[in-house]
Amino acid sequence: MLRHRAGLLLHSRRTLMVGLAAGLAAAGLVAPLTAAADPHPATHGTVQAQAKPATPKSGGPHKAAAFKPHAAKAGPLATAGKTGGKVTPQTADGADPGPQGDGSVANEYDLQMTYKGAQDSAGIVTGPPKVYLVLWGSQWGTPSTNSTGDVVPSGDPDGAAAYQQDFFKGLGSAGDGWSAVLTQYCEGIQAGSLQCPANAAHIQYPQPGSVLAGVWVDNAAAAPQAASEPQLAAEATAAAQHFGNVTEAQNRNVQYIIDSPQGTNPDKWKDLGYCAWHDFERTKFGSIAYTNMPYQPDVAGCGANWFGENTARGKLDGYGIIGGHEYAETLTDPNTPGGWTDATGQEVGDKCAWIPQGANGGLFFENLSTGSFPLQTLWSNTDHLCQSSDPIVTGPTLTLSVMCDRTDAPNSPVNIGAAAADSSGATVSYSATGLPSGLSINSGTGVISGTSSGSNGWQRITVNATDAGGRTASTGFWENIGSGQTGCTAGPEQLIDPGFENGSADVNHTVMTDAWSPSGYNIITPSSLHSAHSGTWYAWLGQNGSGADDSINTSLNTYAGYQNANFSFWLDTESTNTSGSNPDTLQLIAYSQYDGHQIGVVKTWNSTGSQPGYQQQSVNLTPFIGQVGWGTTISLKLVSHESGSTPTTAFLIDDASVHEN
């Protein structure tokens, strides 16, 4: 999963709005839907009975989604409490096939994956997929080599390192249909697309033995006992340098798996209740995709002996189930969330997680040339099902990755990498047109470099690739030599369900509402008593008198190497309280993901002098993110407070947005 950080549920209560109508009417306002109404949007429609893929929970936007262990039942409210200041990702009621679950499968949100349009020049992994294993820390001990060529460290009592190496070595062999499911996904198409045309750049089916690109036992120093997200990202950067991947093109189609040693607690996985996540960062070596892979046997619910083997090899099942999950999601969404996710933020693996073996779309064993490995199925848009196998889809032999629109400072060094992928292995040469003065492209590497001269403004650049067989491909982007934040322009929308259109009128802790964690019944509502800025659903804060604040809460993933973030939303303040001495208020508050401490009040709005009708609000989150560091996840909470015993102000919120660069 993506670092789908579950938002901090700083208070969660189920509030039925019984008796509220009279108080609001007396104040000149109107009441929300009653509990009996319980409207559900069309997206709660029926599910194909043959599919019913399980739906693991998450409450925040995708960065790298937390893949939750299933050691206990996770029905409504079962995991709603905060742990270390952060809600554990949850699973929809009935979706837990674990020993203490009911074994059923439930996914009433059977949504297709949509393409998000790419972030930092990456929508999918377009070239032959490559994995580098990083065994981080002196705790792994001294490495040696076994009879099959695997690196075997002395501090690995369960054999996790060799197991992972065998898995990645085996992909693409022995009729591996699981890898074929991924080949239907592509990039370079319109954002919002559900299917890929034949001429788009598709994920490539791996050649046998080609996926594992290297293993590094980084044992010069101990890994942190509880590594933070920025520390994990820094280790991925160190790995890129170690393996000589020091350009954007060299890192374009690879992922680094940061394996933490036994007994450690990276990103507090044992406290926060997940198994692994994947993410990306912006570095001097280009964008780097990486996975936080804790020592899976340390937590029984992360796949160990999931099929009842009770064997030494079965103890490592999580490295197949969860390792495969994160690998597949990195291929389809390397720079989260620029690739393929559904409207609730789930990725290709999330939608099919933990379906019991034997059920349609359930866990299964894939027989590869290097052994038999347990895997979960993957979501197939083509079939609208969770699939263990699909026909291989092949795109053009030669493709060029999308390139982001960007700004570079005048009279400064420029370095922009183009990345071609040629499935035939032929040599590729590059050329470009429209380059600003002072820049040129290296025909062998595709790197555009030089020193920009003057402020040329926005220019359209076209990059062309030609392989030895005469095949061609091209891509284009806008380059601004001028003032502003250098590098890629702001990426796609970072919030899940920014317009609340997934929302449910009740707090039932399904994936449809958890993106915003409403504090009470009908806070997110389609009520006709007020109106949305667009669409049907909106958030209505201010339904209670003093002592019972309303709130919505979401999490925001930030990216190492980014420097700016802006949060905006549309606000309609409908109020009868115009008192300057005791106004009703709406606050935006930022919280730390780890311990729940308040980073700061970003801004306060009040009812005094308010104008009815939606007005766009925009605030700069950069100073608050800076307090905890880029590459972390923060929680954003909008909370209303009524100064009197009866509500007098309705704060209506819709069409929120966060962009980072």
CATH number for domain 20-38+494-660, candidates 3.40.50.720, 1.10.1610.10, 2.10.109.10, 2.60.120.260 = 2.60.120.260
- Determine the average pLDDT of the residues in 215-230: 97
Category of 380 on φ-ψ map: left (φ > 0), alpha (ψ -120 to 50) or beta: beta
The two tokens of residue 405 are 């629109």
The DSSP-derived string for 479-499 is: EEESSS--EEPP-S--SSSTT
d(CA 632, CA 201): 31
Q: List, in sequence order, every residue forming a beta bridge with 5; answer none if it has no partner.
A: none
Check pLDDT > 80 for residue 126.
yes
How far is CA 363 from its chain centroid?
Answer: 23
Non-local (6+) Cβ contacts of 321 within 8 A are 303, 306, 363, 374, 375, 376
| Residue labelled with tokens 């198994």 | 275
The CATH homologous superfamily to which domain 405-488 belongs is Immunoglobulins (2.60.40.10)
pLDDT of residue 259: 98
d(CA 392, CA 527): 47
pLDDT of residue 65: 47
d(CA 353, CA 351): 6
pLDDT of residue 60: 32
In Å, what is the CA distance from 111 to each residue of 181, 384, 567? 17, 8, 27
At 318, the pLDDT band (50, 70, 90 cuts) reads very high
Check pLDDT > 90 for residue 140.
yes
Q: List, in sequence order, every residue forming a beta bridge with 291; answer none if it has no partner.
A: 257, 278
66 and 271 Cβ atoms separated by less than 8 Å: no
pLDDT of residue 631: 92
Chain region(s) in the chain for CATH 2.60.120.260: 20-38+494-660
At 301, the pLDDT band (50, 70, 90 cuts) reads confident
The DSSP-derived string for 261-300 is: PTT--GGGHHHHT-S-EEEEEEETTEEEEEEEE--GGGST
Q: Which of 94-103, 249-258, 409-418, 533-542 has the least mean pLDDT? A: 94-103
pLDDT of residue 83: 24
Mean residue pLDDT of the chain comes to 83
pLDDT of residue 74: 24
pLDDT of residue 67: 55
Amino acid identity at 488: C
Beta strand ranges found along 294-403 (DSSP E): 340-341, 364-368, 371-375, 378-380, 385-387, 398-400
pLDDT of residue 504: 66
Q: pLDDT, tens digit, for every residue of 60-109?
A: 333 434 555 533 222 222 222 222 222 222 232 233 333 333 333 334 35
Non-local (6+) Cβ contacts of 191 within 8 A are 114, 115, 116, 117, 492
pLDDT of residue 270: 92
pLDDT of residue 205: 97
Q: What are phi and psi of 270, to 5 degrees?
A: -70, -30
What percentage of residues in the chain have a pLDDT greater than 70? 82
Question: With b meaning 16 or more CB within 10 Å and e meaning fewer, what string describes 206-242?
Answer: beeebbbbbbbbbbeeebbebbbbbbbbbbbbbbbee
488 and 564 Cβ atoms separated by less than 8 Å: no
Q: pLDDT, tens digit, for every residue of 6-53?
A: 322 222 222 222 222 333 333 334 433 332 232 222 222 222 222 222
pLDDT of residue 66: 53
Amino acid identity at 461: I
| Residue labelled with tokens 């029905």 | 75
Element (H, E) at 233: helix 229-242
Chain region(s) in the chain for CATH 2.60.40.10: 405-488
Check pLDDT > 90 for residue 550.
yes
Q: What are phi and psi of 22, to 5 degrees?
A: -65, -40
- Determine the average pLDDT of the residues in 646-651: 92
The DSSP-derived string for 554-589 is: EEEE--TT---EEEEEEEEEEES---SSS--EEEEE
In Å, what is the CA distance from 438 to each residue of 152, 284, 446? 50, 21, 16
pLDDT of residue 137: 98
Of 106, 67, 150, nearest to 330 by C-alpha is: 67
- Determine the average pLDDT of the residues in 427-441: 95
d(CA 572, CA 530): 10
d(CA 325, CA 236): 19
Residue with the larger pLDDT of the pair 437 and 25: 437
- Determine the average pLDDT of the residues in 361-380: 96
Radius of gyration of the chain (CA): 25
Check pLDDT > 50 for residue 361.
yes
Category of 454 on φ-ψ map: left (φ > 0), alpha (ψ -120 to 50) or beta: left
At 429, the pLDDT band (50, 70, 90 cuts) reads very high
- 3 state SS of 542: coil
Check pLDDT > 50 for residue 163.
yes
Residue with the larger pLDDT of the pair 99 and 263: 263
d(CA 520, CA 542): 11
134 and 351 Cβ atoms separated by less than 8 Å: no
pLDDT of residue 483: 81
91 and 424 Cβ atoms separated by less than 8 Å: no
d(CA 144, CA 79): 42
d(CA 446, CA 249): 8
pLDDT of residue 3: 62
Residue with the larger pLDDT of the pair 504 and 651: 651
Amino acid identity at 261: P
In Å, what is the CA distance from 578 to each residue of 571, 584, 603, 606, 640? 17, 9, 19, 9, 16
Q: What's the pTM?
A: 0.85
pLDDT of residue 595: 76
Q: List, in sequence order, every residue forming a beta bridge with 488; answer none if it has no partner.
A: 406
At 646, the pLDDT band (50, 70, 90 cuts) reads confident
Q: pLDDT, tens digit, for every residue of 560-602?
A: 999 999 999 999 999 998 878 889 999 999 998 777 899 999 9
